[in-house]
Amino acid sequence: DILHFTVCEDGKLSCKSSAIDLPPEQDIVLRAAKLLQQYTDLGADIQVEKNIPMGGHSIICGVLLETIK
């Protein structure tokens, strides 16, 4: 999978996937971004290009954490 980030200085978070639109409470990438947002006032527009079958989101979350660092 490929993640694309655009910083949003207004603090808003959004996440879109090329595979499926998930409700926010089920979108693990968005949930991880919300947890990380506790440490910054910035938001992000996150685009997920799906290449790995569903269920690979735990790997994406690891990449998200490393990107934020």
Q: What pLDDT is recorded for position 4?
A: 94
- Could you report the average pLDDT of every consecutive run of 10 residues in the chain (69 residues)? 91 85 80 89 90 64 67
**Number of Cβ within a 10 Å radius of residue 15:** 22
pLDDT of residue 29: 87
Exposed / middle / buried, residue 46 (Cβ in 10 Å: 0-12, 13-18, 19+): buried
Question: pTM for the whole thing?
Answer: 0.68
Query: What string of DSSP letters covers 5-35?
Result: EEEETT--EEEEESS-PPPGGG-HHHHHHHH
